[in-house]
Chain A
Amino acid sequence: MSGDSVEPLVTAVQPLGTGTIIGLEIHCQLNTRSKLFCGCSTDYRDDPPNTHVCPICLGLPGALPRVNRAVIEYALRVAKALHCEVPLESEFARKNYFYPDLNKAFQITQYDRPLAVRGTLLIEGDNGEKEVGITRVHVEEDPGRLVHKGGTDRPKYSLVDYNRAGIPLIEIVTDPDLRSPKEARRFLHKIRATLEYLGVFDSEKEGSLRVDANVSIQGGERVEVKNITSYKGVEKALTFEVTRQRGVIRRGQRVTRETRHFVEARGVTTSSRSKEEEQDYRYFPEPDLRPMRVRDWSDAIVLPELPDARRTRFITQYGCSPEHARTLTGELRIAEFFEQVADPGAPATATWVADTLIGELNYREMSVSSVPSSYFRELMQALSKGEVTDHCAVEVLRSLLDQLHAKGTCESPLACVARLGLGKAGEEIAATVAAEVICENERAVADYHSGKNEAFNFLIGQVMRKTKGRADPAALNRALKEALDMRGE
């Protein structure tokens, strides 16, 4: 299609970051007890469809919205943590569009008078720490949920559940300050941590986060990528999109302004042929609600310790490395778990949580909140007392996590050690095993006594195999040497 394109051919392959401009629109569900405009409970996830619904959130004729004070307070906490300005007056507006998940055919959101504007958030950028600008923070209602029926390629109709309709969302819009998909992911992680530390958001609830991204690369127009619903998805979607745009330009074509959808299962973005460009939302102030003047509330908010402050404290209080401190404070649950198990007498605990535990949890897609901290502490104590080896501790941990994963409970670490015979083998066991190995390997023993050192390595290997790595290698070495020397005499 680009016969008359005047775009220069870009031949050099650039690294993913170069010339990339990304801005994010992040929607998070705020964890208030009741919905944004009615008293229906927000705890809908395990319940049947249309059971958390009233005249207001069903959009029945004549019902009127009422603003939940806590939603505004939560959003102001976020605004303050992001160093935003709170304008003297803000208001709700209607965004008018039709879609079967939208109960009133408009969404109550905020438009030209948002709750907060112009903030910043510090992240670990591609070239060290950087400040990302926050354009605005506002609140709005979640629409309902659609289920497509009649097959995946051509559903015949939709099913609608309005339980989610009216759940409060906070929308955070960034300036186009992010320069790579990786920075976008880090930004998202930092936002998540900040919101969790503020006690306004629970990232573990399914569907509690949705991200739209604006992406452009040098020489191309801005493309909006919608429908990113996971943390991992952000980097994947953006990497795909940046690569796609580079390909388009490399082929001498034009990146045109459009809206694309991220298809998580396939890791690709696809052009949505819907007439997004034609959308005309006809915003106007919500006439059923009054304006808000909440700047003084914001002034009165005392923020809790946020991720950056906690990171610094972990370094000084627990002697964590800066890297571990960053990992341990990157998620509220991890940070709190660490504080429960940390022991100044056992400095290795930080490594164990930050590297081993998180790795094992991620592998099983489990949350740290399912791990009893007392058990983890017990395991760390056994380790520091020398009752188990590092190797055994990992095995115990894996076994415990498998049990938790399967049934939500597990035995105690010491019970596990006993059951699997993973206790550090004592000197006696070492001696017995050494004697056994000597009896079973006459030739190697003879070789050893004739001065062949490789023979000792072979024998120690046999000993280790018999003890399955549970015994302290130094003790085994000692015991074998002793037994061989006794025979040689």
Chain B
Amino acid sequence: MGTPTLHFSPKDRYNAFLTTVEDAPYCEGPLSGRGVAVKDNISTAGIETTCGSLILKGYTPPYDAHVVDLLIRAGAAIVGKTNMDEFGMGSTTEQSAFGPTLNPRDPKRVPGGSSGGSAAAVAAGMVDFALGSDTGGSIRCPASYCGIVGLKPTYGRVSRYGLVAYSNSLEQIGPMARTVTDLSNLMVVISGYDPRDSTTCERPYRHKPHPSVKGSKVGIPEEFFGEGVDPRVASVVWDAISVLEEEGAEVITCSMPSMTYALAAYYVICTSEASSNLARFDGVRYGPPVETHLPWHEAYSERRRIGFGPEVRRRVMLGTFALSSGYYGKYYAKAQVARQMVSADFSRIFNEVDLIAGPTMPSTAFPLGEKTDPLAMYLTDILTVPANLAGVPAISVPCGEVEGMPVGLQIMGRPFEDEYVIDAAFTYEQGVAT
């Protein structure tokens, strides 16, 4: 008797996948025979893993990421690797070296990013669920733009072993699905302590969502409805919050003054870490080979100039600058203080409320090619980065539309209360359904 396989050959009209596995093997388990799409920055043994970059074209890892290992053991079939902004550096999936992914809700628009391929694959119904990774909103942003559910777990709840690092101290792998129940089922499989990741905790997620916001307090930071947030998006999100209120939650407005610094701090930290993480891509051990007859410095520079796209080069250089002698104190050190201020704001607010809610993104998905200025693009992450800086769980759940494009409600919770965040999203989802 051979190993059972799942046949998978979707019409990928949205360029969601970079690699598909036509006959994906699976074993017995809770997810037996269910196809899972995996973001292309998560290592899969024997399956090309490019991170959406030319510099990793042809690279097949000799090992599985911890989460992939867990998925396979749970019976899931790994059906493919999904498109993404190169190394996760983007909010639209337009920065992929292999062409943009299109938004299944309107193929003229971006799906969000950087986990745009995973979001599109789920939204288009090609798979029930997918893995993404979220450094500053990369799961929640495309979930919001494509109208699906996406969770950035508490930092330390899901092993990063095998996740190609962009910004180690900020990112988490997380589940994406069309329903909160599916998302929760996936989270059960991928969470838990992994000795190979020194930043994980012994806090497995073993939960079945149930509607329960009765009596809980939901804080609404005024900064989440500030300047830059599309008023139509704000209005849809307020309506969603009132659904939670109808379900028994008490809504309290609050304030997060550290939001002033959060985005700048986020970009200093993630580019700094990235400048170091991406230094290893030199064409010696993997990826398209480096020219060995040149002096090494020249050879590396050329290999990396060709191998990386402009946004990656920009961020690597920004991070190099932020860490360089004479600037460390001005940028990196200050960003760490700002990060502590964000955490302190969350702690203070969570002394009074159980959950924090607001929009996931300031707008709905915009047309492909519309945003070209890097800083303008960075500014769209303003509402998602605080959760990464503080390491708290945050979910985006679809909560309505503006001109036919989905809007996401973002719900954040205390560290390691991913269960509570998922329950709140489930409550909203069920509340709208009935």
A–B contact via C-beta, under 8 angstroms: yes
Which A residues form the contact surface with B (CB < 8 A)? Answer: 55, 58-67, 94, 96, 98-100, 103-106, 156-158, 160, 280, 282-284, 287-290
Q: Please choose the segment from B99-107, B259-267, B319-327 that sits at the chain A interface, where 4 or more of its residues have CB less than 8 A away.
A: B319-327
Give A157 to B197 CA distance when docked, in angstroms: 36
> Across the interface, do A157 and B293 meet the contact criterion of CB distance under 8 Å?
yes
Residue B162 contacts which of A62, A100, A157, A283 (CB distance < 8 angstroms)?
A62
Residue of B nearest to A54 (CB): B63
> Across the interface, do A103 and B276 meet the contact criterion of CB distance under 8 Å?
no
Residue of B nearest to A97 (CB): B279
Q: Is B255 an interface residue (CB 8 A)?
A: no
> Across the interface, do A288 and B51 meet the contact criterion of CB distance under 8 Å?
no
B28-64 interface bits toward A, Cβ cutoff 8 Å, 1 = contact, 0 = none:
0000000000000111000001010000100101110
Q: Is B168 an interface residue (CB 8 A)?
A: yes
B-side contacts of A64, CB under 8 Å: 160-161, 196-198
Report the minimal beta-carbon distance from A436 to chain B, rounded to whole angstroms.
Answer: 77
Closest 3 CB pairs of A and B: A105-B279, A282-B323, A287-B168
Among A94, A100, A104, A284, the one with the most B-chain Cβ atoms within 10 Å of its Cβ is A284
Asked, given contacts A61-B59, A64-B160, whether A282 binds B320 with beta carbons under 8 Å apart, the answer is yes
Residue A62 contacts which of B165, B169, B328 (CB distance < 8 angstroms)?
B165
Report the minimal beta-carbon distance from B181 to chain A, rounded to whole angstroms.
Answer: 29
Residue B196 contacts which of A66, A99, A156 (CB distance < 8 angstroms)?
A66
> Across the interface, do A66 and B168 meet the contact criterion of CB distance under 8 Å?
no
B267-297, CB < 8 A from A = 272-273, 275-276, 279-282, 284-286, 292-293, 296-297
Among B63, B167, B169, B285, the one with the most A-chain Cβ atoms within 10 Å of its Cβ is B285
Pick 9 A–B contacts, CB within 8 A, sort by A: A61-B49, A61-B280, A62-B161, A63-B161, A100-B282, A282-B320, A282-B324, A284-B328, A288-B199
Give A59 to B284 CA distance when docked, in angstroms: 11
Give A62 to B195 CA distance when docked, in angstroms: 15
Give A59 to B62 CA distance when docked, in angstroms: 12
Q: Is B387 an interface residue (CB 8 A)?
A: no
A-side contacts of B168, CB under 8 Å: 287-288
A-side contacts of B285, CB under 8 Å: 58-60, 103
> Across the interface, do A96 and B279 meet the contact criterion of CB distance under 8 Å?
yes
Residue of B nearest to A160 (CB): B284
> Across the interface, do A62 and B323 meet the contact criterion of CB distance under 8 Å?
no
> Across the interface, do B196 and A61 meet the contact criterion of CB distance under 8 Å?
no
> Across the interface, do A287 and B280 meet the contact criterion of CB distance under 8 Å?
no
Q: Is B332 an interface residue (CB 8 A)?
A: yes
B-side contacts of A61, CB under 8 Å: 43, 49, 51, 56, 59, 61, 164-165, 280-281, 286
Q: Is B300 an interface residue (CB 8 A)?
A: yes
Residue of A nearest to B164 (CB): A61
Additional A-B contacts beyond A61-B61, A104-B279, A282-B323 (15; CB < 8 A): A60-B62, A60-B285, A61-B56, A61-B59, A61-B286, A62-B41, A62-B162, A64-B198, A98-B300, A103-B280, A156-B292, A156-B293, A284-B332, A287-B167, A290-B198
A-side contacts of B332, CB under 8 Å: 284
> Across the interface, do A55 and B324 meet the contact criterion of CB distance under 8 Å?
no
A-side contacts of B325, CB under 8 Å: 280, 282
Asked, given contacts A64-B196, A98-B297, whether A284 binds B272 with beta carbons under 8 Å apart, the answer is yes
Give A367 to B297 CA distance when docked, in angstroms: 42
A-side contacts of B51, CB under 8 Å: 61
Among A59, A61, A104, A283, the one with the most B-chain Cβ atoms within 10 Å of its Cβ is A61
B-side contacts of A65, CB under 8 Å: 198
A-side contacts of B165, CB under 8 Å: 61-62, 288
Give A39 to B281 CA distance when docked, in angstroms: 24
Which B residues form the contact surface with A (CB < 8 A)? Answer: 41-43, 49, 51, 56, 59, 61-63, 65, 160-165, 167-169, 195-199, 272-273, 275-276, 279-282, 284-286, 292-293, 296-297, 300, 320, 323-325, 328, 332
Residue A60 contacts which of B63, B169, B279, B282 (CB distance < 8 angstroms)?
B63
Give A284 to B271 CA distance when docked, in angstroms: 13
Residue A287 contacts which of B61, B169, B293, B296 (CB distance < 8 angstroms)?
B169
Give A290 to B196 CA distance when docked, in angstroms: 13
Report the minimal beta-carbon distance from A109 to chain B, rounded to whole angstroms.
Answer: 13
> Across the interface, do A157 and B161 meet the contact criterion of CB distance under 8 Å?
no
Give A96 to B198 CA distance when docked, in angstroms: 21
Report the minimal beta-carbon distance from B268 to chain A, rounded to whole angstroms.
Answer: 11
A-side contacts of B280, CB under 8 Å: 59, 61, 103-106
> Across the interface, do A60 and B61 meet the contact criterion of CB distance under 8 Å?
yes
Report the minimal beta-carbon distance from A454 to chain B, rounded to whole angstroms.
Answer: 78
Report the minimal beta-carbon distance from A399 to chain B, rounded to whole angstroms.
Answer: 52
Residue of A nearest to B319 (CB): A282
Residue of B nearest to A280 (CB): B325
Give A289 to B51 CA distance when docked, in angstroms: 23
> Across the interface, do B275 and A282 meet the contact criterion of CB distance under 8 Å?
yes
Report the minimal beta-carbon distance from A294 to chain B, rounded to whole angstroms.
Answer: 15
Asked, given contacts A66-B196, A288-B199, whether A98 binds B276 with beta carbons under 8 Å apart, the answer is no
B-side contacts of A99, CB under 8 Å: 296
Residue B292 contacts which of A55, A66, A157, A288 (CB distance < 8 angstroms)?
A157
Give A59 to B277 CA distance when docked, in angstroms: 10
Asked, given contacts A61-B49, A287-B273, whether A105 binds B282 with beta carbons under 8 Å apart, the answer is yes
> Across the interface, do B296 and A55 meet the contact criterion of CB distance under 8 Å?
no
A-side contacts of B300, CB under 8 Å: 98
Give A225 to B45 CA distance when docked, in angstroms: 45
Residue of A nearest to B301 (CB): A98
Give A289 to B168 CA distance when docked, in angstroms: 10
Give A66 to B195 CA distance when docked, in angstroms: 8
A-side contacts of B275, CB under 8 Å: 96, 282
B-side contacts of A156, CB under 8 Å: 292-293
A-side contacts of B281, CB under 8 Å: 61
Report the minimal beta-carbon distance from B325 to chain A, rounded to whole angstroms.
Answer: 5
B-side contacts of A282, CB under 8 Å: 275-276, 320, 323-325, 328
Residue of B nearest to A290 (CB): B198
Report the minimal beta-carbon distance from B332 to chain A, rounded to whole angstroms.
Answer: 6
B-side contacts of A287, CB under 8 Å: 167-169, 273
Give A157 to B169 CA distance when docked, in angstroms: 37
Give A283 to B323 CA distance when docked, in angstroms: 7
Report the minimal beta-carbon distance from A110 to chain B, rounded to whole angstroms.
Answer: 16
B-side contacts of A55, CB under 8 Å: 61-63
B-side contacts of A280, CB under 8 Å: 324-325
Residue A288 contacts which of B61, B62, B198, B320 (CB distance < 8 angstroms)?
B198
B-side contacts of A103, CB under 8 Å: 280, 285
Residue of B nearest to A37 (CB): B198
> Across the interface, do B198 and A66 meet the contact criterion of CB distance under 8 Å?
yes
Residue of A nearest to B325 (CB): A280
Give A36 to B164 CA distance when docked, in angstroms: 21
> Across the interface, do B296 and A100 meet the contact criterion of CB distance under 8 Å?
yes
> Across the interface, do B198 and A62 meet the contact criterion of CB distance under 8 Å?
no
A-side contacts of B323, CB under 8 Å: 96, 282-284
Among A55, A67, A99, the one with the most B-chain Cβ atoms within 10 Å of its Cβ is A55
Give A16 to B163 CA distance when docked, in angstroms: 57
Give A100 to B303 CA distance when docked, in angstroms: 13
B-side contacts of A105, CB under 8 Å: 276, 279-280, 282
Give A103 to B281 CA distance when docked, in angstroms: 10
